[in-house]
A and B are shown apart, each in its own frame.
Chain A
Amino acid sequence: MKAWPKILRRGPMEWTAIALIGLGFLMLFQPFVLELYSYSFITMLIGTVMFIVVSKFPE
C-alpha cells in the first residue's frame, strides 16, 4: 500500500479546518464589513465539512 502523503496528515489538516471554522465565526460576528458577514457561512461550512473528512485521515 502506498504511504499516506505527508501533507495530508490528520493533525495539520484538522488545525486548518479549525482555523477555517474560527475565521468563519469571526466573520459572522464582526461589526465592520457586511461583505465578510456574507461570506462567513460558506467559510464555516467548508471548515466543518473539511473537519469531518480529515478527522478520518491517518496520523
Chain B
Amino acid sequence: MIDTKTSPLNRAAEAVARSTPSRLVKRVTGLSDRMVAWLFIGPTMVLLLAINIFPLFWAIGLSFTNYRANRPNEPVESVGLRNYERILTDPDIWIAMQTTANFVFWTILLQTVIGFGLAYLIDRKFRGHAFWTTIILVPMMLSPAVVGNFWRFLYEPQIGLFAYAVSFVSGIPPTEIEMLSNVSLAPWSIIIVDTWMWSPYVMLICLAGLRSIPDYIYEAAEVDRASPIRQFLSITLPMALPFIMLAILFRGIENFKMFDMVNLLTGGGPGSTTEVASITLKREAFEKWRTGYSSAFAIILFVAVFGLANIYVKALNRVKQR
C-alpha cells in the first residue's frame, strides 16, 4: 500500500504549500469550490473569447461593410445586407457550393461504405486483428499537409506510383493518367485522398457501435435460425445506425470546411472544377482583398456548419441515451 503521507507527490505538495507567500494563502483559503472551479477554467474562457468569439463578432461586423484589409486607411462604409445579397445571387458562388456538395456527397458515401466494411471485418476478431487495426489507422494520424504533398507525388503521371498502378490494371499508358490536371479526374483525385485518409475514422466510430451490440441478441437470433444476412439486416445494421449517422454528420461538417487538401492537391483547378467554397472564400479574402464580402461569405458558411453541429450534438445525445 502507498503511504500517502510520505509519498513524493505529497512531499512536493507540502513543499509548494510552504513556499506559497502567506498573503496569497490567506486569499485562497477562503474561496468556495465554485470560485476555485472558475479560477481553473477562467484562463481557458478568456483565451476562447479572445481567439474565437471576438473574431466571430468582428467578422459579423465587417460583413456589413465594404472594408478591404489591403487598404486600411480608406474610409469604411456600411453597405447593409448588400454583401449577403451579392453572395446569395452570385451564380459563381452557387457553383462553388455545388462543387462542395458533390465533394461532400461522394467522400461521405465512400468513407461510410469502406469504414463500415472495415469495422465489420475487424469486429470478427481474427488473428492479428489488433495489428491490422493499428495499420488501418495510420493515414488518419498523418498531417493533411504531409498527405497532400505525398499524394501529389503519387499522382505524378511520369513518376507517380498511382499512375503506374492504374496503368498496370487498365492498360492505359501512365503518362495519360493526369489525375490533377484532367478536368474530369481532378475532383476524384481529392475524393480518393480524403477517403483514404478518413475512412479509418469512420471505421473507429462504427467499430464502437458494433462492439456495443450484446452477444445474447445474436445468440437468440441463432436459436431462431436467422440467416447471417437476416442477422445483419435486423440486428447489426439497426443497432449500429446511430453510430453510422454520427460518423456521417461529423465527416459532413469536416468535409464542408475542407481547405488544406484541395489547396495542396489542385488549388481549386484545373479552371475552377475543384473550387470548393473554402477555396473561393480564400480567393475573395486574400487574392481580391474583399474583406467585407468574404466576411459575409464566412458567416454564411459558419451558419451552415453551426446548424449541422446542432444536429450533431442532438444525435450524440441520442447515442449516449442508448
Contacts and interface: CB of A to CB of B under 8 A. Distances in A.
Given A37-B88, A44-B304, A29 B98 contact: yes
B32 interface: no
Contacts of A47: 307
Given A14-B314, A34-B91, A41 B97 contact: no
B88 A38 contact: yes
A54 B84 CA distance: 27
A28 B304 contact: yes
Given A21-B307, A29-B98, A34-B94, A41 B84 contact: yes
B307 A44 contact: yes
B84 A25 contact: no
Given A14-B314, A29-B101, A48-B303, A37 B94 contact: yes
A41 to B, nearest CB: 5
A38 B307 CA distance: 17
A46 B308 CA distance: 13
A21 B253 CA distance: 13
A28 to B, nearest CB: 6
B300 interface: yes
**Interface of chain A, main secondary structure:** helix
Contacts of B97: 28-29, 37
A47 B88 CA distance: 18
Interface residues of A, number: 22
Contacts of A34: 89, 91, 94
Nearest to B311: A18
A21 B310 contact: yes
A51 B308 CA distance: 11
Q: Name which of B84, B94, B98, B300 has the most chain A CB atoms within 10 A of its CB.
A: B94
Contacts of A45: 303
A23 to B, nearest CB: 10
Contacts of B84: 41
B306 interface: yes
Contacts of A41: 84, 88, 300, 303
Nearest to A47: B307
A39 B307 CA distance: 15
B100 interface: yes
Interface string A5-39: 00000000010011001101100110100100111
A55 B314 CA distance: 10
Interface string B289-322: 0000000000010011011101100100000000
Contacts of A31: 98, 101
A54 B88 CA distance: 28
Given A21-B311, A25-B304, A48-B306, 11 more contacts: A24-B304, A25-B307, A25-B308, A28-B97, A29-B97, A37-B94, A38-B89, A40-B88, A41-B84, A41-B300, A48-B310
Interface of A: 14, 17-18, 21-22, 24-25, 28-29, 31, 34, 37-41, 44-45, 47-48, 51-52
21 contacts: A14-B314, A17-B310, A18-B311, A21-B311, A22-B311, A24-B304, A24-B307, A25-B304, A25-B308, A28-B304, A31-B98, A34-B89, A34-B91, A34-B94, A37-B97, A38-B88, A38-B89, A44-B303, A47-B307, A48-B306, A48-B310
Give the 9 A-B CB pairs with smallest separation, nearest first.
A29-B101, A21-B307, A48-B307, A38-B88, A51-B310, A31-B98, A44-B307, A37-B94, A41-B300
